[in-house]
Amino acid sequence: MAQQSAAATSQQGNVNPPAGGGGGGDMCTAYETRFSVIDVKVNEKEKGATLQAGPISAEEQKKQAELLKEASKRAEENVQQLPSSGRRLFLARHGERMDRVFPGWLRLAFSEFGMYRPYDLNMPLSLPPRINGPSDFHDDTPCTEIGYVTAQMIGRGARLTRVSFSHVYCSPALRCVQSAHGMLKAWPGTTTKIRIEPGLFEYMGWYRNGLPPFLTPQEMVAQGYEVEIDYAPIMTIADMKTKAAKETLAEYYERSSKVITEIINKHPNPPWNILVVGHAPTLDAASRKLIAKPTAVPSEQDMNQMGLHFPYGAVVALEEVEDRSKWQLMHSALPPISYLEFTNRINFRFFNR
Residues known to be catalytic: 93-94, 279
Residues 336/344, Cβ–Cβ less than 8 Å: yes
The CB density around residue 81, as the number of other CB atoms within 10 Å, is: 12
Residue type, 303: M
Q: Which of 191, 182, 194, 277 is nearest to 230 (CA)?
A: 194
Query: How are beta strands 315-321 and 84-93 bridged, if at all?
Result: antiparallel
Count CA atoms closer than 13 A to 274's CA, side-chain side. Answer: 23
